[in-house]
Amino acid sequence: MRIGLLAPGRPNIRGRALLAVLLGWAAPFLITLIQGAVLHDRSFTSFVADYGMYARSLIAAPLLVLIEGVCFPRLSGIARHFQDGGLIRDADLPRYRQALSSTRALRDSMRLEFGLVAVAIGLVVAINWAVPQQAYQAWHRLPHSESYSLAGWWNALISVPVLIMLLLGWLWRLLLWTRFLWLMSRLDLKIIAAHPDGAGGLKFIGLSTQAFSVLAFSSGVIVAGTIMNHIVHDAAPLMAYRAIIVGFAVLMIGLLAGPLLVFSLKLLDARRRGIFEYGALARSVGGLMERKWFRRREDADAEALSVQDFSATTDLYSVTANAYAMNIVPVAWVSLILLACGALLPFLPAVLMSVSPEVLFRKLTSLFL
């Protein structure tokens, strides 16, 4: 905010995304370019062949900034819809407003910013201590030396901390989102068991997973870039990383869709209540219809087709079926599939790189022959 990158009501998303690219990728690009020209080493060639660096600092870092424009409006709209959609009772309005204000206060906390910086520094130190230098690409080191090059130091002190800060920021926002949903689940919400959305009127919350699918994609790019390095430079087989890829997708689904589970107990209680209440009403109305029509001695005539008894009973049974089919997690399968696709899509280039062009061509042509 002090240097003008942020201001109230002006998030300057594009400017901050550009700054993330300049600090994280463009600076070491220029450093290795100059180093290669001065020392006549292969540092620049190593840098431009580092898929992990492209993934982390050229793609993932700016994306983690740009997706604010996608996620923030979606999450804010969901939070407002609790009141706009008539789910909040008048007695719970103060608690709802307090949940909103406390979430904003925690989101904008300056102490939190300093805490994230401290955690990022700690993680950078831990990474540099735990990961041997041989695991890094050659541009991180000086020629014929184990010491960091200038680009290596820049990556360790600037590029990696910027990325970690962005990831920690999203982790904190996810925790705040989970906390907000948990506070909402403690309110006496107006849940309707027979609501046509199949989740008591709460399925709109599941739209958050569609916004988070972009976050899953950004995180997947980081992992996919490292795997690409091993496949291209170390000739590692893709199947050696299948557990990591599948585990990452499962982790993203659990992490980004898991907060919706805070409503499961409330929805389960509403479903049980709806089964009893709507079931009793359907049985009562059905009994009345049977007594009226099945105990008649005369045959039904053409006028019976226009009687409202049958259509009204059918409508009631349809509403009752909604109560019986009510879900206890407010999310649609299509949203979960979209989230999984967002997590797995970054690994598609690694899959294509691991398959020879000849085999890929035969597979594609076989689809049309």
The secondary structure of 98-128, three-state, reads HHHHHHHHHHCCHHHHHHHHHHHHHHHHHHH
pLDDT digit string, tens, across residues 153-168: 999 889 999 999 999 9
Question: d(Cα 356, Cα 130) in Å, to the nearest integer?
Answer: 35
Question: d(Cα 225, Cα 53) in Å, to the nearest integer?
Answer: 7
Q: How confident is the model at residue 265 (pLDDT cuts 50, 70, 90)?
A: very high
Question: d(Cα 168, Cα 175) in Å, to the nearest integer?
Answer: 10
Contact 220, 344 (CB under 8 A): yes
Contact 223, 244 (CB under 8 A): yes
Q: How confident is the model at residue 361 (pLDDT cuts 50, 70, 90)?
A: low
Which pTM does this prediction carry?
Answer: 0.86
From residue 219, alpha-carbon distances to 49, 128, 141, 242, 349 in Å are 21, 21, 27, 17, 15
pLDDT at residue number 140: 85
Q: Which two tokens stand for residue 302?
A: 């053409």
Q: What does residue 98 show for φ and ψ, rounded to 5 degrees?
A: -65, -40
Q: Is the pLDDT of residue 42 over 70?
A: yes
Handedness of CA 39, 45, 51, 56 (dihedral sign): positive
* Residue recorded with tokens 């919706």: 260
**Mean pLDDT for the chain?**
87
Helix (H) or strand (E) holding 366: helix 357-366
Question: d(Cα 236, Cα 367) in Å, to the nearest integer?
Answer: 28
pLDDT at residue number 171: 93
Q: Is the pLDDT of residue 242 over 60?
A: yes
**DSSP classification of residue 148:** B
